Structure 1
């Protein structure tokens, strides 16, 4: 009797164990499909990811449902112990699919444990719109007269929602920003150091489906020469720079080596940081009217000025100055050149204590070498509002303001933005014309 009871208990335990292992995998494979719902093009890569940690995948089927048609997109079978899989495909490989709405149905079966039962099945259906035609792009602005080192503004329309748009040339991209309706605006520079033959600006628009359109614009280039300068490096200046930057370059042994590391390596780092700050911008203009120049100031260095640096009569470095140096009284008050939002207020390498104001569409002004900063990041400022005081921080060779203008991180000639006629002819009138054209359509 005792043996019979023990045997019965063992039978029950065995059946319970079998039931546990059989019933523990009651869920089908995990399935995810990307991209998610919305427009897709035939050339866009789509991917399905599968995961089944229990019995593993057995097969996958993807079909497209469009109208009354069922179209096979992908079919796979997997060997035993396949617990994770990823498949990619393009809808262009399914030629019978037409432009318009359709549904992708993904179904996947796992393997039944111990070959008992049919296994578990997961079915996921996602709605898409098949869209293979590129977006239509039309330039509304006609005249684009752009000086070397200067800026152009193109106003254009795109007939559908985009994931990326702006102006492209050479290896550069400058983003455009939605204004109203189907109208976009893009500020783009003619870089001071780009060969003329490589500056062929075109409008790029990539819709949500991944379709791309590139459209040319009419433009006229205005040549411009820039000054050069010969700068002597006295020991007193190098000692000042060494004291400020020695912690950054502990491997440098002399004040001259510290200066050269700052003037070369740190300059490259700072320019990359300006590109990142340039992304923190309003999609619409925040400024009004011509930009202010610091009052009662005299220029001490020009934009795109090529500088030779000499130490004890020997040429030791060459760099290009990408702003305008303005000197007044020591610790003179520095006004905001125009209305905007503070996006940077801190030390910035060669620029020392620095403030950057965003004016929208990637347009920003830089105020470098400050002795004091009177604003904080995120603060809205008005034209003429005092944001700090001049100084000689960074690589400054005396108390002054380094004033710079940037478009999406690319430093451009500030003089244009001080000129009311240039601003009206090249910027504000284009925006006004675009608004009137949009109303008339």
Structure 2
């Protein structure tokens, strides 16, 4: 009996029987083999960008994913003619499920012209013997390292500070971005039809009122589809202008009358003055940004003809670029620049369209009240503000002298008048110039002949 107990204890000390261990090992090996053989899906490869033209500064991004067994090998090559150029390769260790590589094209031995990016990738699967784990992809590109050449055609450019001008230039190729850069401001140029194989552009640009003559340095700039950029200066002369200073006295009664028109746009907190200053600053900036947005809805060709029409029998009030100090109870509380002409006539006087064009906005616009904006082409637009009524709709075509609205006192207006503005690429400019047929002839239309 004691011997049987002893044998039973010995058996329990041995633990799991050998046959069971063998079964576990076989199962583990089987599971491992299954994991290796079950991956029959090759890695997925993506290549960007989708564009076909690349420049010297361009990059190609390759992304490879294998979510089953993981990546084993990746090779990126460029094929140009009979030549293969190794751009990048790597053997992976560990469980690498995806990788993304950015290749700088200009840093390799690829020459200008057509070439192909070819990708070869393998994962760690062995079914059947690795064939299912291979993937390849390719994409054709053209390398263009030559920037556009700029040919100046308008050799005489006379401007006034706050005024504008027209530049005509040609490019050696069509460019998605072309225009004149003035500091941080960009004035787009527009490709003209009927160039007889030439890429001729017209560009309305301005010497902004807030840029001194010393700081005014315009450049023609152009970028092609491959991202190659060119920049060129040109001959010009500009005249400094001195703008008036003015004071606006704010009263509680004026603010009580105007602020309710901005209901829903102004936080209902703080004093009357706090709310007015919010309108005069924050909303003013938003409204001026809208003028830049409107300028993008422009015709690539001129829609207008001849001098612009002026509000009949109107007296000049505030001038363009008047520097205004806002006073409240004897103290200066704000400063803004008045970027248009205030013209006073009879109450609710009919407002004529300054010239032929297309209505791009006809609605309420913050500090300007009820507004009409007419596009005249090439980014040139006229603005009619503080209107009591509007007679046109967005999308309407209008002719010079056509009655589009009536004067009023909506927005931040102290009384019935027309705020008349001229913008180029959304930047306010001096309206006086556009009433002067001689100025238009020598500075605009003569360059089109």
Q: TM-score range by the shorter chain?
A: 0.7 to 0.9
Correspondence for 1:357 among 368, 371, 374: 374
1:64 to 62, 72, 78: 78
Task: Please give the residue correspondences for 1:282-297 in structure 2 after superposition, counting only pairs within 5 Å.
Answer: 282-297=299-314
Cα distance in 1 between the residues matched to 2:396 and 2:141: 42
1:74 aligns with 2:74: no
Cα offsets for 1:264-311 (capped at 9, x unmatched): 221122122222222222222222222111222221111001112223
Aligned partner of 2:58 among 44, 48, 51: 44
Aligned length: 417
Name the SS for the 1:266 alignment partner: helix
Contact 2:166–2:444 (Cα < 8 Å) also in 1: yes
In the alignment, which residue of structure 1 is the partner of 2:253?
Answer: 236
Change (3 A) 1:203 1:19: same
CA distance in 1, matches of 2:410, 2:308: 24
TM-score (norm 1): 0.88
Which of 350-359 and 250-259 deviates more? Answer: 250-259
CA 1:34–1:232: 2 relative to 1, 3 Å: same
Q: Which of 304, 320, 325 matches 1:303?
A: 320
For 1:411-430, list aligned pairs within 5 A.
411-430=428-447
1:132-143 aligned at under 5 Å gives the runs 132-143=145-156
The answer to whether residue 52 in structure 2 is matched with residue 35 in structure 1 is no
**Matched ranges for 1:136-155 at <5 A:** 136-155=149-168
Relative to 1, partners in 2 of residues 1:83 and 1:378: Cα closer, same or farther, differing over 3 Å? farther
Check conservation: 1:152, 1:426, Cα contact below 8 A: yes
Unaligned runs of 5+ in 2: 1-30
**CA shift in 2, pair 1:241/1:104, >3 Å:** same
Structure 1 stretch displaced more, 390-399 or 244-253: 244-253
SS in 2 for 1:196: coil
Does residue 124 of the first structure (1) align with residue 141 of the second (2)?
A: no
Structure 2: distance between partners of 1:27 and 1:384:
71
Whether the 8 Å contact between 2:40 and 2:125 is mirrored in structure 1 is no
CA distance in 1 between partners of 2:418 and 2:143 (Å): 55
Match of 2:243 in 1: 226
Match of 2:102 among 88, 93, 97: 88
Give how far 1:25 is off. 5.0
Equivalence map 1:361-440=2 (5 Å)? 361-432=378-449
CA distance in 1, matches of 2:82, 2:363: 63
- Deviation for aligned residue 1:221: 1.0
Q: Is the 8 A contact 1:228 1:305 kept in 2?
A: yes
Distance 1:79 1:287, change over 3 A: farther
In structure 1, list runs of 5 or more residues that go unmatched: 1-16, 433-441
- C-alpha distance in 2, partners of 1:267/1:138? 39
Q: Is the 8 A contact 1:111 1:118 kept in 2?
A: no
- 1:348 paired with 2:362, answer no
Moved more, 346-355 or 312-321: 312-321
Q: Which moved more, 1:257-266 or 1:202-211?
A: 257-266
